[in-house]
């Protein structure tokens, strides 16, 4: 299979890092066919700095007319590509020299959405193998369900431009623009795969773009948007479980109240919760009964549903509303009797 590969590098005030990013592209064992740097209305001379590489790389530099954010920069850059495959590189990250080669080979083996395996770098010393718990995903099973629970596709992914265009590409988000795209790519039929070797160098720094947002709030927005567009009962349920885990008691706002029956009380007791401390219960059309239960350490939330009815999810509410899940019985998410914490961050 012969495929042409292009890379998009969104950059905003990136003079400090851009040479390292573009230098890593120039040293690939398999050269890229196109490179597009998008200067997202920088205050510094990012565009001029990138243009210095035009004699070394098959490079085009474009500049947005206003600040659009990463989603807009990537969208503008991909629109300039003519290649079969799109590869991503953030301006403060780098490629290991074999990155394009291992990513291309992984795509040839399994066409779809290829997520690189990450290395991390603090800017000093050697690159380190990243130790991310989500790096083992996707597991055998429902890749979309797993992706709804945690974004296990790294930002430096590669995917077919044709499918990207079919789902209308990047769209406006405050944060999580890549996760929003991955969800729609996989929902449209893309299979996620990963190369055997780590090759994407992720720079670890305190002032990264992602540090500007409350991740639970931003991720809930992405999940809610997916939920609004999803017709699959299975994936609607998984999306709601993922939202519930991030929002806790706030999830019940607007849901109709329902009584707790003697059968419900027995289920709660079996899960180690006190039926006499039930504060309220609410009905959700896909999850079942969402119950708020008082406890010595604050409050727990349990979801009762399924056929036969059982505890689907339970856990204590942490500061800020997030649930620390300690029980999961949802058949879509379970694997070898693992708990939801194996999937959710």
Placement of tokens 């779809």 in the chain: 112
- For the stretch 165-188, pLDDT in tens is 999 999 998 889 999 999 999 999
pLDDT band at 212 (very low <50, low <70, confident <90, very high): low
Q: Where are the domains of the chain?
A: 5-213, 231-342
Q: Token pair of 91, please?
A: 């301006």
- Under a CB-based contact definition with an 8 Å cutoff, are residues 7 and 31 in contact? no
- For the stretch 22-38, pLDDT in tens is 999 999 999 999 999 99
Q: Helix or strand or coil: residue 35? A: strand
Q: Nearest-CA neighbor of 204 among 97, 134, 123?
A: 123
In this structure, is the dihedral angle defined by the CA atoms of residues 64, 69, 75 and 77, taken in order, positive or negative? Answer: positive
Taking each continuous run of H as one helix and of E as one strand, the counts in the chain are: 10, 16
* DSSP assignment of 272-313: T--GGGEEEEEEETTTEEEEEEEETTEEEEEEEETTTTEEEE
* DSSP assignment of 256-274: PB-PPPHHHHHHHHHTT--
Q: What is the mean pLDDT of the chain?
A: 91
32 CB burial (10 A radius; 0-12, 13-18, 19+):
buried
- Under a CB-based contact definition with an 8 Å cutoff, are residues 275 and 286 in contact? no
pLDDT at 137: 85
Which residues in 171-209 are b (16+ Cβ under 10 Å) and which e? eebebbbbbbbbbbbbbeebebbbbebbbbbbbeeeeee
Query: Thinking of the domain 5-213, which architecture would CATH place it in?
Result: Alpha-Beta Complex (3.90)
Adjacency order of strands within the sheet including 128-129: 94-95, 198-203, 117-121, 128-129
What percentage of the chain reaches a pLDDT higher than 70? 92
Separation CA 284–CA 226 (nearest Å): 17
Q: For residue 338, which phi and psi values (nearest 5 degrees)?
A: -75, 160
- For the stretch 226-235, pLDDT in tens is 999 999 998 9
- For the stretch 244-256, pLDDT in tens is 999 999 999 999 9
């Amino acid at each position: 299979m012969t495929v042409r590969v292009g890379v998009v590098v969104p950059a905003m005030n990136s003079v400090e890092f851009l040479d390292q990013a573009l230098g890593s592209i120039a040293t690939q064992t398999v050269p890229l066919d196109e490179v597009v740097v998008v200067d997202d209305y920088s205050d510094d001379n990012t565009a001029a700095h990138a243009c210095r590489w035009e004699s070394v790389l098959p490079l085009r530099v474009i500049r947005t007319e206003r600040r659009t954010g990463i989603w807009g920069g990537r969208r503008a850059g991909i629109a300039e590509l003519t290649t079969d495959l799109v590869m991503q590189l953030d301006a403060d990250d780098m490629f290991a020299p074999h990155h394009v080669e291992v990513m291309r080979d992984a795509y040839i083996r399994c066409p779809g959405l290829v997520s690189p395996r990450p290395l991390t770098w603090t800017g000093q010393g050697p690159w380190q193998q990243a130790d991310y718990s989500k790096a083992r995903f996707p597991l055998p099973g429902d890749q979309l369900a797993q992706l709804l629970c945690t974004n296990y596709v790294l930002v430096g992914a590669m995917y077919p431009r044709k499918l990207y265009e079919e789902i209308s590409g990047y769209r406006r988000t405050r944060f999580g623009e890549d996760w929003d795209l991955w969800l729609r790519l996989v929902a449209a039929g893309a299979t996620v795969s990963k190369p055997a070797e780590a090759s994407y160098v992720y720079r670890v720094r305190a002032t990264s773009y992602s540090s500007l947002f409350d991740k639970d709030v931003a991720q809930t927005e992405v999940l809610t948007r997916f939920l609004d567009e999803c017709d699959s009962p299975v994936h609607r349920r998984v999306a709601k479980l993922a939202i519930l885990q991030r929002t806790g008691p706030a999830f019940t706002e607007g849901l109709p109240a329902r009584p707790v029956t003697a059968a419900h009380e027995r289920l709660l007791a079996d899960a180690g919760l006190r039926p006499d401390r039930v504060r309220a219960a609410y009905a959700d059309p896909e999850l079942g009964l969402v119950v708020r239960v008082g406890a010595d350490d604050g409050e727990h939330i349990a979801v009762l549903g399924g056929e036969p009815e059982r505890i689907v999810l339970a856990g204590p509410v942490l500061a800020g509303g997030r649930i620390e899940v300690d029980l999961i019985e949802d058949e879509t998410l379970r694997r070898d009797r693992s708990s939801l914490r194996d999937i959710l961050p």
